Structure 1
């Protein structure tokens, strides 16, 4: 169950806390293919299942690293529903480190911890520590800190 936050004051109450885990999301070959088309990144390691099985160290195709980052806002919304907004801005990604490839058909989920909230004249600047976990894997796909700006009504 996700947390519902409707104001800067409510957001501040979660500062320093782990906010939870998203449900698992399966990264499919179709999603990888569509991402390749959208980004014009058609490397064989992502798209050619036969070649990836034969030649890659992963034994199959893998998701684009940036695809795994692109699903972050979706997974974040499964953890926290930020309501009563005029606007939300993706402000910053800092110290993002890719630790492990995400194989096709892997299930991933987001773990999030609210590091800090600053009030910028009524705009909330929220820094969130994120970890993209891969089901049944020892290492996460990535770790890092993202920042959103929330313009509450």
Structure 2
């Protein structure tokens, strides 16, 4: 795991691939819990029997469940121990090119895209490519933004 302790280290890492997280299995219990938390109980996610006859041969994770794993999976790849607060500021772009079938394993691959000075401190952009084990197409590609306060 890569640990950043200064803004200079972050700036020097622009364009650098930081590596990949461990694999995480997406089970039906996680999908059901996400459905309960968000109120999204679409059958393709939670109705195991009906989904068997659906387009993916079983239930799939919500796209936003996959995206919500970015902080957890990313924490296995890098740590920010810079001075001041670190805030999730947003997502510039996110796509879900491939559904995650329940029972699949996913991981993220992280690249530092940019580190910019802003009036409040620094703004860091990271690319997360969430891969599905054994699949060529990723589940999610997201450019996240972190606000770093001095």
Relative to the length of structure 2, the TM-score reads 0.94
**1:6 positional shift:** 1.5
Taking only aligned residues, the RMSD between alpha carbons, in angstroms, comes to: 1.4
**Equivalent residues of 2:7, 2:82 under 8 A apart:** no
Q: Structure 1, residues 103-153: CA drift from partner, whole Å, max 9, x if none?
A: 00111010111011012246221111221100000100121311111225x
- Equivalent position of 1:41 in the other structure: 40
**Equivalent residues of 2:22, 2:76 under 8 A apart:** yes
**1:28 positional shift:** 1.1
Unpaired stretches in structure 2, ≥5 consecutive residues: none
- Equivalent position of 2:31 in the other structure: 32
Q: Structure 1, residues 6-43: CA drift from partner, whole Å, max 9, x if none?
A: 22122112111111111111111111111001001111
User: Partners of 1:93 and 1:30 in 2: how far apart?
Assistant: 27
The match for 1:94 among 74, 92, 95 is: 92
Classify the secondary structure of the residue corresponding to 2:55. coil
Classify the secondary structure of the residue corresponding to 2:65. helix
**1:86 positional shift:** 3.3
Classify the secondary structure of the residue corresponding to 1:145. strand
Classify the secondary structure of the residue corresponding to 2:75. helix
